[in-house]
Amino acid sequence: MSGSPVGKDSAFSTLLGMTIYKAEAGESEVRMSVQDRLINLHGKLHGGAIFSLIDTALGQASHSLFDGQPGSVTLECKVNYVRGVSEGELVCRARVIHPGRKTHVLEAQVHQGDKLIALAQATFACL
């Protein structure tokens, strides 16, 4: 994986071990390593941690259309979990597919290497 962090992490994303590598022109890339403290009772990364990765990436993609400032909030998000993971690094890429005046519609995919882990579609309200 190439690139370097862009340094727009929140306290929450830092707590979960996320690093933001891209947030520009309606697109983002956020990475997170699987940590023991985020493992569920089945020995897999908790779905809530994956959702948090997705929501962070979606937010960064949306905010990038407001010069990187928080300009939107999540209204709804639907996630399809495709496979579980128990170790390694996840990469979430998100993009705005409809940059409306009042709402943004976005999509995101989480991968581990070439394997799809989860995909999502969301709506953000523009503030």
Write out the two tokens for 17: 């071990």
Domain coordinates in residue numbering, the chain: 11-126
Instruction: Decide yes or no: CATH 3.10.129.10 for domain 11-126.
Output: yes
- Which residue has 């962090």 as its token pair? 5
pLDDT for 1: 44
Write out the two tokens for 43: 């020995």
Q: Render each residue's pLDDT in the chain as its tens digit; 127 residues.
A: 456 666 567 889 999 999 999 999 999 999 999 999 999 999 999 999 999 999 999 999 999 999 878 899 999 999 999 999 999 999 999 999 999 999 999 999 999 999 999 999 999 999 9
State how far the Cα of 23 lies from the Cα of 86, in Å rounded to an integer: 27
State how far the Cα of 92 lies from the Cα of 44, in Å rounded to an integer: 17
Q: Global pTM?
A: 0.94
Q: What is each CA distance from 65 to 30, 40, 46, 122, in whole angstroms?
A: 17, 35, 30, 16
